[in-house]
């Protein structure tokens, strides 16, 4: 499972600078703010456990989980409805949005609205997402109306839900605030609503402006709290400098700004939490690898992430945790002696940090 994160924001929010920093992609400067196509990057998610396991098992290959980023060109004032619709259609497949809110002054790149107001900017982008969703809802209403009149029960249920969503959107409320019931989610499983996607709000700040920065961040944070979302600070220029440093120098650089983790590490943690994702591990001489699954996934379905044959012929999983392995001196024999290696069946729910060996027969 590869997670797709859409980087969104208004024009001149510093969005592409942060995209470059998070992905270390080095998008050429002539593309910044000019391209009508999204920038894409797939990055490995650093996991120190993999190197540790690979060293012990003498693995020939290490395969980390990956994170895909798509940087949508900034929405600008005065864009036509068709331009906006075309841009937004390019992030429909995103699992989650990282919404960059501009919280910095820059005379060489003034804000298009003439002032810094993150609350206004957040509402502006949300409005565009809602307009796109309203169009989707209206088309679906038109499509199912005739079928519903003919007595089709599913069509009736879809029509009722779409009418409720239409009224909700017309009140200028994003669909992530709508309390969907399980049966309603099943009815819209084939629809990609933009304003229903989970959001991480990122306040893009200037370093060295502590009081101004804190006040602006609080605006972004308060907005996030209203909808049970998450807000974080990122110093765009600092992250850009960090991305250019060798790995061994990054920790010292971060500490000079009283930071313990990069923006990417923080985004990954929050994204995994918002999407109920977790990681299990496999290790051996051939390969040590991290696998991303949904929390609550049972052993056979987790095995299916590796290969469908393993899920189909699943017999059992032999499992112990990475933490227990470390506590036992990285010695499998001690893990077994202490009864920490378990043999689990098809109802076992995989846990974060499980090291798994699946047994199967096809």
CATH number at residue 330: 3.10.20.30
**Are the C-beta atoms of residues 204 and 102 closer than 8 Å to each other?**
yes
Same domain, 106 and 239: yes
Question: Of 210, 241, 274, which residue sits at a domain end?
Answer: 274
Q: Is the domain of 85 the same as that of 199? A: yes
Model confidence over 172-188: pLDDT tens digits?
A: 999 999 999 999 999 99
Q: In the chain, which stretches have pLDDT less than 70?
A: 1, 25-37, 76-81, 83, 208-209
For position 226, what pLDDT does the model report? 92
pLDDT of residue 92: 82
**Based on the domain organization, do 254 and 308 belong to the same domain?**
no
**Tens digit of pLDDT for each residue in 262-280?**
888 889 889 999 999 999 9
User: 247 and 307: one domain?
Assistant: no
- Cβ atoms < 10 Å from Cβ of 28: 9
- The residues facing 288 across adjacent strands are 62
Rounded distance between C-alpha atoms, residue 315 and residue 359, angstroms: 5
Q: Do 303 and 266 reside in the same domain of the chain?
A: no
What crossing angle do the helices spanning 118-149 and 81-89 adopt, rounded to 10°?
80
214 and 111 in one domain?
yes
Domain total in the chain: 2
Residues 105 and 201 in one domain: yes
CA 208 – CA 1 distance, rounded (Å): 39
216 & 334 share domain? no
- Measured distance CA(80)–CA(33) in Å, rounded: 17
Q: What is the CB-side half-sphere exposure of residue 336 using CA atoms within 13 A?
A: 5
Q: Which DSSP state fits 194?
A: S
Q: Quick one: pLDDT at residue 31?
A: 37
The distance of Cα 178 from the centroid of its chain, to the nearest Å, equals 20
Residue 315 domain boundaries? 296-360
Domain co-membership, 231 together with 346: no
Cβ–Cβ under 8 Å, residues 262 and 202: no
CA atoms within 13 A of residue 157's CA, in its CB half-sphere:
10
- Residue among 189, 139, 179 nearest 162 (CA): 139
Calpha distance 115→112 (Å, rounded):
8
The last residue of a domain, from among 274, 308, 335 = 274
In a domain? residue 282? no
The answer to whether 200 touches 18, Cβ cutoff 8 Å, is: no
Which of 214, 243, 274 is the last residue in one of the domains? 274
> Does any domain span residue 53?
no
242 and 331 both lie in a single domain: no
Q: Give the number of other Cβ atoms within 10 Å of residue 145's Cβ.
A: 15
3-class state of residue 233 by DSSP: strand
pTM of the predicted structure, to 2 decimals: 0.85
Task: Map residue 300 onto helix, strand or coil.
Answer: helix
Residue 241 lies in a domain: yes
| Residue 306: exposure state from Cβ atoms within 10 A (0-12, 13-18, ≥19) | middle
- 323 within domain boundaries: yes
Flag whether 174 is in a domain: no
Dihedral sign of CA atoms 289, 292, 296, 300 in order: negative
Q: Give the span between the Cα atoms of 280 and 272, in whole angstroms.
A: 13
13 and 79 inside one domain: yes
Same domain? 237 vs 302: no
pLDDT of the residue at 26: 43
Output the pLDDT for position 76: 65
Q: Where are the alpha helices (DSSP H) in the chain?
A: 15-23, 48-57, 81-89, 118-149, 153-170, 182-187, 210-226, 236-243, 247-255, 263-274, 299-306, 308-312, 322-327, 332-337
Does residue 12 belong to any structural domain of this protein?
A: yes
Residue at 207 is within a domain: yes
Residue 291 lies in a domain: no
């Amino acid at each position: 499972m590869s997670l797709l994160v859409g980087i969104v924001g208004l024009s001149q929010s510093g969005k592409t600078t942060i995209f470059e920093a998070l992905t270390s992609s080095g998008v050429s400067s002539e593309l910044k703010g000019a391209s009508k196509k999204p920038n894409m990057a797939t990055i490995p998610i650093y996991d120190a456990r993999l190197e540790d396991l690979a060293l012990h098992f003498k693995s020939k290959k290490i395969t980390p989980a990956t994170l895909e980023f798509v940087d949508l060109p900034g929405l600008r004032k005065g864009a036509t409805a068709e331009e906006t619709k075309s841009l937004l259609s390019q992030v429909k497949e995103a699992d989650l949005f990282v919404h960059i809110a501009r919280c910095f002054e820059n005379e060489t790149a003034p804000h298009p609205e003439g002032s810094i107001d993150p609350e206004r900017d957040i509402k502006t982008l949300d409005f565009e997402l809602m307009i796109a969703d309203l169009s989707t809802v209206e088309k679906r209403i038109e499509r199912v109306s005739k079928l519903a009149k003919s007595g089709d029960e599913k069509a009736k249920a879809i029509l009722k839900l779409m009418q409720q969503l239409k009224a909700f959107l017309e009140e200028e409320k994003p669909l992530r605030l709508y309390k969907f019931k399980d049966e309603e989610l099943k009815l819209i499983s084939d629809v990609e609503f933009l304003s229903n996607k989970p959001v991480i709000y990122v306040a893009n700040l200037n370093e060295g402006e502590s009081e101004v920065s804190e006040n602006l961040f609080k605006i972004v944070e308060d907005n996030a709290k209203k909808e049970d979302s998450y807000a974080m600070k990122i110093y765009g220029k600092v992250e850009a400098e960090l991305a250019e440093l060798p790995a061994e120098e990054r920790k010292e650089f971060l500490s000079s700004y009283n930071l313990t983790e990069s923006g990417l590490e923080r985004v990954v943690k929050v994204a995994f939490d918002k999407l109920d994702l977790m990681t299990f591990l496999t290790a051996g001489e051939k390969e040590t690898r991290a696998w991303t699954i949904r929390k609550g996934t049972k052993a056979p379905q987790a095995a299916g992430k590796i290969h469908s044959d393993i899920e189909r012929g699943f017999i059992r999983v032999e499992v112990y945790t990475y933490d227990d392995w470390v506590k036992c001196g990285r010695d499998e024999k001690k893990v077994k002696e202490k009864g920490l290696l378990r043999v689990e069946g098809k109802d076992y729910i995989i846990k974060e940090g499980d090291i798994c060996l699946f047994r199967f027969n096809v």
